[in-house]
Amino acid sequence: MTMDLFDGLGGTGPREESLGAGARVLRGFALTQDAELLSAVHDVSLASPFRHMETPGGFRMSVAMTNCGAWGWVTDRTGYRYADVDPVQGRPWPEMPAVFLRLARMAAAKAGFDGFTPDACLVNRYEPGAKMSLHQDKDERDFTAPIVSVSLGLPAVFLFGGAERADSSARVRLSHGDVVVWGGPARLRYHGVMPLKPGHHPRVGGHRINLTFRKAQ
């Protein structure tokens, strides 16, 4: 039997939980790199600023978004898609920072997805009241690749549903430093985020930042 220094109540190190088949929470996995990650988010946002995109139905998204990597997820009146040029800046998205890529690959490998090579990172910024309605992520070409998400700043209540929109959702609190790997049977499950509660995070202030690493192409 192996002893794990982080096991047990009151531990402060990484903890792993399963949210059901294919969904693995690595609590605190990004904590040791939070400053580097936040500094890289800032650099990305200088090249491609956060913006509130418009849905095909004409609604302004409450979550502000930007991207880095070869491909970026965008929405406008014409639909959802991955684009290799930032439509606001008219230039390719900023390169994926090395610290992002390293973290995403390590987390994926830990959850059993060796060789994960994301070519897109969507960066979501939530202000108080911002939310994400239940949806599936299905604009990517290959659903055998997982999605890796990294939460920074204020905590949020994440909704993890089923294969159909009407299926009931589990509520999962995602806090600063938590990383989740969504693959296999979890990859196409409905999910969303409850409206962010106001608060103050010592490193991030009044926002929540979420990074999602994807293989778009």
Q: Which residues bind ligand MD3 (CB under 6 A)?
A: 122, 124, 132, 137, 147, 149, 180, 182, 186-187, 189, 191, 193, 210, 212
Nearer residue to Fe ion within complex by CB, 86 or 137: 137
The footprint of Fe ion on this chain (CB under 5 A) covers a number of residues equal to 1
Token pair for residue 53? 């995109």
Least separation in angstroms between CB 2 and ligand MD3:
30
Cα 148 to chain centroid, rounded: 6
210 binds, options ligand MD3, Fe ion, none, Cβ within 5 to 8 A by partner type: ligand MD3
- Subset of residues 88 to 147 that bind Fe ion, contact rule: CB under 5 A: 137
Between CA 106 and CA 30 the distance in angstroms is 10
Element (H, E) at 109: helix 98-110
For Fe ion, give the closer residue by CB, 137 or 178: 137
CB of 101 to Fe ion, least distance (A): 20
Query: What's the closest the beta carbon of residue 187 comes to ligand MD3, in angstroms?
Result: 5
> Which position has the token pair 């599936």?
136
Instruction: Give the integer Cα–Cα distance in Å for 25 and 120.
Output: 21
Choose among Fe ion, ligand MD3, none what residue 48 binds, the Cβ cut-off being 5 to 8 Å by kind: none
| Number of helices and strands in the chain (H, E) | 2, 13
Nearer to ligand MD3, 48 or 149 (CB): 149
Question: CA-CA distances (angstroms) from residue 111 to 45, 153, 196?
Answer: 29, 23, 28
